[in-house]
């Protein structure tokens, strides 16, 4: 049990680091090309999904179609693919394009607070004092992040705010919803199908991808960066969702706290991003909100135990 928990901790910390790095890399990619977010996601999801499922089918000799024989599991997988995998990635990239990598990551970081609220509602008990303070800190942080201290001069566009909020919801959804499927079928097959189906759904509404389009859009450096983004993002999802086998959704959400730190450091050093003082304060408040949740009291420990029993 102790070894499994340590493996889960390594997986979530590594996955969060890769995701923190991927934000600035994606921001750089869009600064260097005119590729749309939907085009980018079609390529990213299809390539990653095909690679992962191909590895399972031809190297591991697994029956990747077995899950489709179970109607309820198939429905859950489709929901995860469209709402969780595609929804979370699309809203994150849109938030990033309308703001920047750090802001999008901080919005995503509100997910653990939503998860905690969800667990409280599911457990039908009032949040503890620490949880209440975490929610207050998260709300205050979001206010400063959006307004930079002045409601009369909102620094983020309506699109950035909308997609930022949807990013937080998507984060919470893909953390909680696939946990039972992963315990039954394993991480790679759920993430692989999630990416492939998400990419197919997006491709249906996207007809701009042609060989000429790639030639006109990508250079050697941007193509290389695209491959690195796909590899790191896929590994991030696999490690993040895979950690749910060994940790609870609440713990996994909390331990992803290094994402905004990594994104901020890389953005400032590499992309020369500059943030307002109140925006930095807002980011700090959001991080503090999650830190409040890293030292659970007896009430929260009981809820985590309830979550573990319900997932088992």
Residue 147, C-beta contacts closer than 8 angstroms, at least 6 positions apart: 153, 154, 155, 278
pLDDT of residue 223: 92
Query: Shortest CA distance to 15 belongs to which of 189, 247, 224, 199?
Result: 247
Cα(300)–Cα(290) distance, rounded to whole angstroms? 13
Angle between helices 187-204 and 220-242 (to 10 degrees): 130
Whole-number Å distance between alpha carbons of 167 and 176? 14
Query: Would you say 195 and 49 are in contact if contact means Cβ atoms under 8 Å apart?
Result: yes
Helix (H) or strand (E) holding 192: helix 187-204
Domain, as residue range, for 72: 2-311
**How is residue 99 annotated by DSSP?**
S
Tens of pLDDT, residue by residue, the chain (312 residues): 567 888 888 898 899 899 889 999 999 999 999 898 889 999 999 999 999 999 999 998 999 999 999 999 999 999 999 999 999 999 999 999 999 998 998 898 788 788 878 877 887 777 777 778 888 888 888 888 888 777 776 788 999 999 999 999 998 898 788 889 988 998 889 989 999 999 999 998 877 777 777 788 889 999 999 999 988 988 887 888 788 788 876 677 667 777 888 888 899 889 988 888 888 888 888 888 877 765 555 554 555 455 445 544
pLDDT at 304: 47
pLDDT of residue 36: 87
CA 252 to chain centre: 11
Q: Count structural domains, the chain.
A: 1
């Amino acid at each position: 049990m102790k070894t499994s928990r340590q493996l889960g901790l390594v997986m979530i910390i590594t996955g969060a680091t890769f995701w923190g790095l991927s934000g600035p890399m994606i921001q750089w990619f869009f600064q260097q090309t005119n590729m749309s977010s939907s085009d980018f996601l079609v390529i990213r999801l299809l390539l990653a999904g095909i690679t992962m499922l191909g590895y399972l089918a031809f190297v591991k000799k697994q029956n990747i179609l077995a899950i489709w024989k179970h109607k309820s599991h198939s429905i859950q997988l489709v929901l995860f693919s469209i709402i969780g995998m595609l929804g979370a990635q699309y809203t994150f990239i849109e938030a990033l394009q309308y703001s920047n990598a750090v802001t999008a990551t901080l919005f995503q970081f509100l997910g653990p607070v939503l998860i905690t609220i969800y667990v409280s509602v599911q457990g039908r008990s009032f949040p503890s004092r620490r949880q209440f303070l975490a929610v207050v800190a998260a709300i205050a942080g979001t206010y400063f992040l959006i307004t930079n201290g002045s409601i009369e001069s909102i620094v983020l566009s309506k699109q950035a705010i909308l997609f930022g909020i949807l990013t937080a919801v998507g984060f919470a959804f893909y953390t909680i919803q696939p946990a039972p499927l992963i315990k039954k079928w394993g991480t790679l097959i759920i993430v692989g199908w999630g990416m492939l189906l998400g990419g197919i759904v997006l491709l249906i509404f996207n007809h701009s991808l042609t060989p000429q389009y790639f030639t006109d859009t990508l250079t050697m450096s941007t193509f290389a960066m695209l491959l690195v983004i796909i590899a790191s993002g896929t590994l991030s999802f696999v490690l993040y969702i895979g950690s749910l086998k060994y940790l609870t959704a609440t713990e996994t959400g909390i331990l992803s706290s290094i994402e905004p730190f990594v994104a901020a450091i890389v953005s400032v050093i590499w992309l020369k991003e500059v943030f307002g003082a109140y925006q930095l304060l807002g980011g700090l408040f959001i991080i503090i909100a999650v830190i409040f949740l890293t030292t659970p009291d007896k009430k929260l420990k009981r809820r985590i135990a309830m979550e573990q029993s319900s997932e088992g």
